[in-house]
Amino acid sequence: MTGNRFFVPEGPFSIDSFAEDIKVTFSSVTDKMFTDVAPLSTAENDQVSFLDNSKYVKDLENTKAGAIILKEEYADKIPNKCIALVSKNPHLSFALLSQKFYPLPEVKNAISEQAYVDPTAKISTGCQIDAGAWIGPNVEIGTGCHIGPNVVIQESVVIGAHCRIGNNASLECCEIGMFTNIHPGVRVGTRGFGFAIDPSGFEDVPQTGRVIIGNRVEIGANSTIDRGMGPDTVIGDGCKIDNLIHIAHNVKLGRGCVMAAMSGIAGSTELGDFVVCGAQAGLSGHLKIGSGVQIAARAGVTKDLEAGSIVGGFPAEPINTWRKRHAMITRLMKKKG
């Protein structure tokens, strides 16, 4: 699929070797080997593609893919000699297959001579620590972690097993669970934006909390997560945080929350489980956002939201109300024009 020097696929693999793992069924019996995954429009006969969006059904007719992951309702639309790999969730199955062809790079059991590790730090077995990394006193790093070039890990930080910390990231006042992936340039645990206001000036309020990050969390490049003022800032298990995100002090994210690029949450706001924030969404401070809430891109949330709400606009309101209001204003402008 990639065809470049940066990514070389594993394999080849037979359908029998991966069908069960990626949750697909098939009727054609074949010993054909597949060398890669690829989009419908560019796939070759020795590659596997997928269909998950009905907009691309028309591409089935001309695809050269040797096998296609798709829902059963589309299986009879594929070209002759192409194998249908039927899945209830084609995108998930394709993701699992892509991971088989392109697994994460192996973590090497090696500490660079150009890295600094404080004598009091506890580094578990199987860790890779690259050149320029700085690991402070009393740091604890679990087994199988990869600490990239020029990473700074301040005193007493705890990192669970099998985490990956990207180059130039910095961690302080935080505890991180297992299998968490922190991308380059991330800042975790910097002081929160807290100060008292007086006519004579501003007085900083010491930020004495931590950042607690759960298991299997992903934090995108150049994002920032501030430590709490007293209560901790908490990121729940399985959260997906995109690039260029800001999460302020005392914020709490439940399990499986998703934040798209350039969105931000002000201090002390709490999100339930599986909340989704679109790109450039902004949430004011001290709010309660229920589980399953969906916030449209560029929405501005200023009030608490009940579980399951879907909102958009500024100030954010129910998405259908916002769409009707926008359509009405558009029609009025056309009439005046």
| Annotation: CATH topology of 13-101 | 3.40.1390
Q: What is the pLDDT of residue 120?
A: 98
User: Residues 101, 3, 93, 145: is their CA dihedral positive or negative?
Assistant: positive
Strand order in the sheet with 300-301: 116-117, 134-135, 152-153, 170-171, 187-190, 224-226, 246-247, 264-265, 282-283, 300-301
Q: What is the pLDDT of residue 3?
A: 61
Residue 337 has pLDDT above 70, yes or no: no
Of all residues in the chain, the percent with pLDDT exceeding 90 is: 88
Contact residues for 261 (Cβ-Cβ < 8 A; gap 6+): 220, 242, 243, 244, 245, 279, 280
In whole angstroms, give the CA distance from residue 139 to residue 154. Answer: 7
Q: What is the pLDDT of residue 278?
A: 98
Q: Judge contact between 67 and 45, C-beta under 8 A.
A: no
In whole angstroms, give the CA distance from residue 297 to residue 295. Answer: 7
Residue 162 appears among annotated catalytic residues: no
Residue 25 has what DSSP assignment?
B
- φ/ψ of residue 323, rounded to 5: -65, -45
CATH of the domain spanning 172-320 = 2.160.10.10
Predicted TM-score (pTM) of the model is 0.93
Which is more confidently placed, 325 or 157? 157
Q: Mean of the per-residue pLDDT values for the chain?
A: 95
For residue range 90-121, list pLDDT tens digits in order.
Answer: 999 999 999 999 999 999 999 999 999 999 99
For residue range 67-97, list pLDDT tens digits in order.
Answer: 999 999 999 999 988 999 999 999 999 999 9
Instruction: Tell me the domain boundaries of the chain.
Output: 13-101, 172-320
Q: What is the pLDDT of residue 1?
A: 58
Q: Judge contact between 57 and 79, C-beta under 8 A.
A: no
For residue range 17-50, list pLDDT tens digits in order.
Answer: 999 999 999 987 788 999 999 999 999 999 999 9
Residue 143 has pLDDT above 80, yes or no: yes
For residue range 265-320, list pLDDT tens digits in order.
Answer: 999 999 999 999 999 999 999 999 999 999 999 999 999 999 999 999 999 999 99
Catalytic residue among 91, 162, 249, 286: 249
Q: Please enumerate, as own/partner, the contacts of 254-257 that have beta carbons within 8 Å and a separation of 24 or more.
A: 254/291, 255/214
The stretch 231-260 carries a mean pLDDT of: 98
Which is more confidently placed, 331 or 167? 167
In whole angstroms, give the CA distance from residue 157 to residue 151. Answer: 13
The stretch 126-146 carries a mean pLDDT of: 98
Of all residues in the chain, the percent with pLDDT exceeding 70 is: 99
β-bridge mates for residue 212, sequence order: 175, 234
Q: Judge contact between 285 and 268, C-beta under 8 A.
A: yes
- φ/ψ of residue 94, rounded to 5: -65, -40
The stretch 177-202 carries a mean pLDDT of: 96
3-state SS, residue 332: helix
Residue whose tokens read 């020795």? 46
Which pLDDT band, with edges at 50, 70 and 90, does 5 fall under? confident
End-to-end CA distance of the chain: 49
